[in-house]
Amino acid sequence: MLENLTGDVLLSSGTVAYLGAFTVDYRLKCQQQWQVLCNEKNIPCSSDFSLSNTLGDPVKIRAWQIAGLPVDSFSTDNGIIISNSRRWALMIDPQRQANKWVKNMEKTNRLSVIKLSDTHYVRVLENAIQLGTPVLLENVGEELDAFIEPILLKLTFKQQGVEYIKLGENIIEYSRDFRFYITTCLRNPHYLPEVAVKVCLINFVITPLGLQDQLLGIVTAEEKPELEEKKNELIIESAANKKQLKEIEDKILEILSTSEGNILEDETAITVLSSSKVLSEEISEKQKISSITEMQIDTTRMRYKPVAVHSAVIFFCISDLANIEPMYQYSLIWFINVYVQSIAKSKKSEDLEERIKNITEHFTVSIYNNVCRSLFEKDKLLFSLLLTIGIMKGKDQIDDEIWHFLLTGGVTLDNPHLNPAPDWLSEKSWAELVRASSLTNLHGLMEHVRDNSSKWKLIYDSARPHEEAFPDAWSTLTGLDHLVILRCLRPDKIIPAVQEFIVENMGRTFIEPPTFDLGKSYSDSNCCAPLIFVLSPGADPMAGLLKFADDVGMGGASIQTISLGQGQGPIAAKMISQAITDGTWVVLQNCHLATSWMPALEKICEEVIVPENTNEKFRLWLTSYPSEKFPVSILQNGIKMTNEPPKGVRVNLLRSYLTDPISDPVFFTGCQKPEMWQKLLFGLCFFHAVVQERRNFGPLGWNIPYEFNESDLRISMQQIQMFLNEYEEVPFEALTYLTGECNYGGRVTDDKDRRLLLSLLSVVYSKDIEQDKYMLTSYIEYIRNLPIITHPEVFGLHENADITKDNQETNQLFHGVLLTLPREAGGSGKSSQETVEELAQDILSKLPSDFDMEVVMKTYPVLYEESMNTVLRQELIRFNRYGSVFCVALLILKYACVYQRLTTYKTFTIRCS
């Protein structure tokens, strides 16, 4: 509507100028509030305003989508912002969607692709500026090279009618056809104002709708290839028809505008108009047929939508992990590869519903196994919980208010209700129960606890409260509601309760992470994908890697290792250059110590290690502690592995038996006393699991936390076999000394810890083990049937020793989940800024007044006989200073929240006024 043009253009201008860097929800929120402001200022605008309706060209948008732009409205708006902005676009593109789109869109225009690390990028830029061809600058960081500043600011000048630009010391001719695109792979970059004002920041992070469409296209192409092919043909044909119609319209308008006199007397014009009409009718008829066919295809295609929706949910669960640990980076390309493999490998079925179920189940398990091998032990349950909640949210089975309460316990400062059982119920637990009573399914909980405290005390006192039924009507609670009450009463048992929650909704597979399997990781790799060991304290994968290399025929001269550090980068580069030709392996250890060389390594991975130049047998192995400087592209495209001791005695034992050297049949059967050998071997593995697990109990486990590792276990079991083969009698004293004093004891510095270590070892290295009743012989199936959560008694500790450890694990779990959540309004409808503002005001109102120092000095004068008066005076001065700092900090926080809520609309309001 023309009457709404003023307001729509104003909103479009604001969107293009200010909202490019924001998320889809924030953009919509701003646009809606801007519409309200327009109505208040009597500026007419459309009630259903959208950027694509105002500034979008349907023909151009369809061409963008054919070139790879996601079809969702958010991505379409991004394309419109880029094409209408006066500044060159810097696209935040962690999934490389924008990168792919720009390359396809500008392919026919001789696009040049450069990086700031390229040695020749200046020359490429200069040539493109003069010839008027597009340039894509990839993988920029948070700072841009000062050399490109004149290009960003468009500092051109004219001489004798010709436009020029000065780059460095060179003055070159500037073509108006030149286009400049910039992309970054960083997920959440922080650009300083001096950078942000020179470019148009665009948030190209993929949206759920855009990803769903891509995944739907992939699954349809795999399951019904002829259908997807026809769909793509229709899209291209429809785009061509629309383009032709647009050209006809433009041609008619040109004739009408250039025609002089009576157009009815212009035979040429009449002929053109007649032929255009016939052609237009033919195209319109074709479009109708195409539209009907496309609708029929879409109907069949949409039957696979549950697969796409489910898989998109999983991708966003994975992408959130990077907030916990910078090494947890996964690319969309990697995700789609796993997706395609699951479609191919999952069980076939003629029944569509069953086939969809098979694909989703196979894909979910495949993703879980793939991601788990790259996570630290502390984050594996966290990932399972995120996956469970994400999938349930996709089915609308999660109440956000309940979920947020479970993670935070609610927020308030006052509790006006008196604790009914202060002898056993802590004030913190009672306050949480009071707050929980306001939740939808928990109304009346506070009153029930107050009136039936003895019944609830049974839950509180129980050794396994997560398995107990709650009193009376509350016994029927399940899911998150059950977990919320457990959090209030016994937060130390949240971990086993969360495991049960996951088992109920996803299955036991998702609480039993796969054991470390180097062979599986290797089989999933290729010559161009680095294999990355993400290290933790005490982990040393080199022994296992060298043994694996021998097993696959790549040992000896076929594998080269180098520990990175100052000056080692060029040597490593030469090793890689030679190895990609020879088809050998290169291991670069401790990449975190060579952060300055990491950009060079990234360039090698992207430009040197490419399929056409690389021997298929070549592999690049990297080891690194977590580092924010580690290249994102290598993390996303590589195969990541962690080699930590697994969590729990059961899994620890299982891993010991499934990995080298026990998994090697030659070693396992190489002892001349098999019965004693298997007893001692199991006992040693059990001892190894116990000494590692005791670290979780803090000072109760060890006075000093020690990093016992696989090397200690390996050398100890080799010594057992050697001694059994060489001696008639088992030399327990010698084994105790070597294992307890040398191998494991060599790490122990505290004398009490050493005594404990030897005491634990004496259970295994005992002559009693020779008796049949001293049962330690074990098999893998027996280990698999052990409980997942180990009772403290196994470690020689009282069951109460678990409480502190379990509380820490619960806090760690909730903290990790909170890191992955977006900062948005909770169930109460209040924004985070409003909540913080209220809390700050509440604390301010309760701060005590400063002490009047003049009164204090008169009451407690400084006297020789009363030295404590001086101390009192100094302490009160410090208290007043602390109170002032605290007050100022709260005021700053409060008004920062107010400003943040208002600043979004400030500039727009001023312009409207």
Between the CA atoms of 264, 265, 268 and 274, what dihedral angle is there, to the nearest 10 degrees? 30
Give residue-wise pLDDT tens across range 716-726: 999 999 999 88
pLDDT at 499 over 50: yes
Query: What is the identity of the amino acid at 31?
Result: Q
Task: Tell me how crowded residue 683 is: count the other CB atoms within 10 A of its CB.
Answer: 21
Give the span between the Cα atoms of 673 and 678, in whole angstroms. 9
Which position has the token pair 């928990």? 442
Give the span between the Cα atoms of 798 and 89, in whole angstroms. 62
Please give the residue that has the higher pLDDT: either 519 or 88: 88
Average pLDDT over residues 636-657: 83
Q: What is the mean pLDDT of the chain?
A: 85
Average pLDDT over residues 289-299: 74
214-228, 590-604, 621-635, 891-905: segment of lowest average pLDDT = 891-905
Beta-strand relationship, 156-159 and 162-167: antiparallel
Give the span between the Cα atoms of 57 and 63, in whole angstroms. 10
- Residue 568 sits at φ, ψ, to 5 deg, of -90, -15
* pLDDT at position 911: 41
The first and second tokens of residue 318, run together, are 């994975």
Which position has the token pair 């959540």? 821
- What is the SS3 string spanning 244-301? HHHHHHHHHHHHHHHCCCCHHHCHHHHHHHHHHHHHHHHHHHHHHHHHHHHHHHHHHH
Which sign, positive or negative, has the C-alpha torsion 877, 879, 883, 885?
Answer: positive
Give the span between the Cα atoms of 259 and 271, in whole angstroms. 13
* pLDDT at position 412: 67
Contact 663, 357 (CB under 8 A): no
Give the span between the Cα atoms of 601 and 179, in whole angstroms. 29
Query: Inter-axis angle of helices 305-319 and 352-372, to 10 degrees?
Result: 10
The residue among 763, 775, 791, 815 whose CA lies nearest residue 693 is 791
pLDDT level of residue 387 (50, 70, 90 thresholds): very high
Give residue-wise pLDDT tens across range 23-57: 888 899 899 999 999 989 899 988 888 898 889 88
Which position has the token pair 């290295």? 765
Give the span between the Cα atoms of 185 and 69, in whole angstroms. 17
465-479, 814-828, 850-864: segment of lowest average pLDDT = 814-828
Residue 599 preceded by cis peptide, ω within 30: no
Query: What is the identity of the amino acid at 388?
Result: T
- Residue 89 sits at φ, ψ, to 5 deg, of -85, 135
pLDDT level of residue 112 (50, 70, 90 thresholds): very high
Average pLDDT over residues 824-839: 60
Contact 363, 342 (CB under 8 A): yes
* pLDDT at position 486: 93
Angle at CA 324, nearest 5°, toward 320 and 325? 110
The first and second tokens of residue 748, run together, are 């122990």
Give the span between the Cα atoms of 242 and 235, in whole angstroms. 11
Give the span between the Cα atoms of 78 and 51, in whole angstroms. 10
* pLDDT at position 828: 45
Give the span between the Cα atoms of 823 and 834, in whole angstroms. 12
Give residue-wise pLDDT tens across range 328-359: 989 888 999 999 999 999 999 889 899 999 99
Cα 808 versus chain centre, distance: 23
The first and second tokens of residue 70, run together, are 């996601």
Give the span between the Cα atoms of 320 and 821, in whole angstroms. 8
The residue among 286, 293, 278 whose CA lies nearest residue 242 is 286
The residue among 461, 519, 484, 570 whose CA lies nearest residue 814 is 484
- Residue 732 sits at φ, ψ, to 5 deg, of -60, -40
Coil, strand, or helix at residue 805?
helix
The first and second tokens of residue 243, run together, are 């383009």
Please give the residue that has the higher pLDDT: either 837 or 819: 819
* pLDDT at position 84: 92
The first and second tokens of residue 651, run together, are 């899994």
* pLDDT at position 457: 92
Give the span between the Cα atoms of 492 and 810, in whole angstroms. 7
pLDDT at 664 over 90: no
Give residue-wise pLDDT tens across range 702-739: 898 888 888 888 899 999 999 998 888 888 899 999 99
* pLDDT at position 906: 42
Angle at CA 423, nearest 5°, toward 420 and 429? 65
222-226, 234-238, 266-270, 357-361: segment of lowest average pLDDT = 266-270
Average pLDDT over residues 398-419: 84
pLDDT at 905 over 50: no
pLDDT level of residue 597 (50, 70, 90 thresholds): very high
pLDDT at 773 over 60: no
Which position has the token pair 């469970």? 388
Query: What is the identity of the amino acid at 176?
Result: R
Burial class (CB in 10 A: 0-12, 13-18, 19+), 859: exposed
Give the span between the Cα atoms of 675 and 850, in whole angstroms. 77
Which residues are CB-neighbours of 270 under 8 A, at least 6 positions away? Answer: 263, 264
pLDDT level of residue 777 (50, 70, 90 thresholds): very low
The residue among 315, 359, 322 whose CA lies nearest residue 341 is 359
Per-residue burial over 397-436, b = 16 or more CB atoms within 10 Å of its CB, e = otherwise: ebbebbbbbbeebbeeeeeeeebbbeeebeeebbbbbbbb
Give the span between the Cα atoms of 477 and 442, in whole angstroms. 9
Give the span between the Cα atoms of 320 and 325, in whole angstroms. 10
pLDDT at 754 over 60: yes
Contact 51, 77 (CB under 8 A): yes
Q: Is 538 left (phi over 0), alpha (psi -120 to 50) or beta?
A: left
Per-residue burial over 256-288, b = 16 or more CB atoms within 10 Å of its CB, e = otherwise: eeeeeeeeeebeebeebbeebeeeeeebeeebe
* pLDDT at position 556: 87
Give residue-wise pLDDT tens across range 194-234: 899 999 999 999 888 889 988 988 888 888 888 777 777 77
Task: Tell me how crowded residue 808 is: count the other CB atoms within 10 A of its CB.
Answer: 14
Contact 534, 622 (CB under 8 A): no
Average pLDDT over residues 781-802: 70
Q: Is 585 left (phi over 0), alpha (psi -120 to 50) or beta?
A: beta
Any idea how long the chain is?
913
Give the span between the Cα atoms of 603 and 607, in whole angstroms. 6
Q: For residue 564, give Cα distances in angstroms to 601, 635, 666.
A: 11, 18, 35
**First vs last Cα of the chain: how many Å apart?**
23
Give residue-wise pLDDT tens across range 250-265: 777 777 677 666 666 6
pLDDT at 137 over 60: yes
